[in-house]
Each structure stands twice: as C-alpha cells, then as structure tokens.
Amino acid sequence: MGLLFMALKGFAQADSTTFKGHLYNNEYEVYIDMNFYKNDILVPHQEIFGKIAGFFGDIHDGRKWLFTSAKIVNKRNAQIEIINDYGSEDLEATLTCNPDGTYTLTQEKGSTIKIARNRKWIKMPKTLVFKKTR
C-alpha cells in the first residue's frame, strides 16, 4: 500500500510542474515564464501588473506579452489569453507539452505576437517550439 501511495504522490508532483517554469526558443531568442497553478508570476520591471499566470518575453527587448488567463485543459494542454503590455493587442493561444518534453505555443485567435528587432516589428510564427530550461 505504501509503495502505491508513493507512486501516486510522485505522479501528482510531476503533474503539478508541467505548466510551471521557464521555456526558451533558441531560434528567436524568446522565452516563457509561467506558473499556471498558482498564477504568481511577477513581470520584471513591470510589477504594476501584479501576479499573473505568466508572460512571453524577448531577451533583446523589455516588452512583454502577458498571460492574463491560463486554463489547464488536460495533462498536456493549456488555453491561454494573452495581451501585450500596452493593452492594445490580444490573442488566444494553446500551450502543449509534447511527448519529447518540448512545448508548442500555437497562436489561435486575435493578434499575432510581435517582437522588436533592429527597430522593426517581427511577427512570430503562429507555432513556436520551446525547451524547458527550469
């Protein structure tokens, strides 16, 4: 009985970290910080937004796309509502934890996530793959 309890406890712990942590995309040098369980992420230098589910950031620019709502649908998928830090653009997306341990962010409805590079806006692809770094 004790072994079964320990196995179930281990499974529950693993499940509570799927949508928590730091994800990184090497190609575009963008990242996601998230905690969809506690919604306790503070955006660095933008703490005025309070604690949120997470955000999408670019290592070259301070602007962020804020996760105003994140609903875990099942063990591998979460629905996210995202808004830029100016409040002028928003979208809905899905974050999927893939069997190989990577994550796929799929932009579905609304605006397209953009980042600033060399004083120009670059639209992100509708689908981005990330690796969990912590």
31-43 pLDDT per residue, tens: 999 999 999 999 9
- Give dist(CA 72, CA 80) in Å, integer: 9
Over residues 34-71, the pLDDT tens digits come to 999 999 999 998 888 899 999 999 999 989 999 999 99
Locus of tokens 């962020």: 64
Average pLDDT score over residue span 106-111: 97
Q: What is the pLDDT of residue 8?
A: 41
For residue 7, pLDDT beyond 60:
no
Q: Write out the residue range of the structural domain in which residue 43 sits.
A: 2-132
Question: 84-103: b or e for each residue (b if 16 or more CB lie within 10 Å)?
Answer: bbeeeeebebebbbeeeeeb
Please choose, from the candidates 74, 92, 82, 27, the residue with its C-alpha nearest in 3D space to the C-alpha of residue 56. Answer: 82
Whether the CA torsion 6, 11, 12, 18 is positive or negative: it is positive
Q: Total domain count for the chain? A: 1
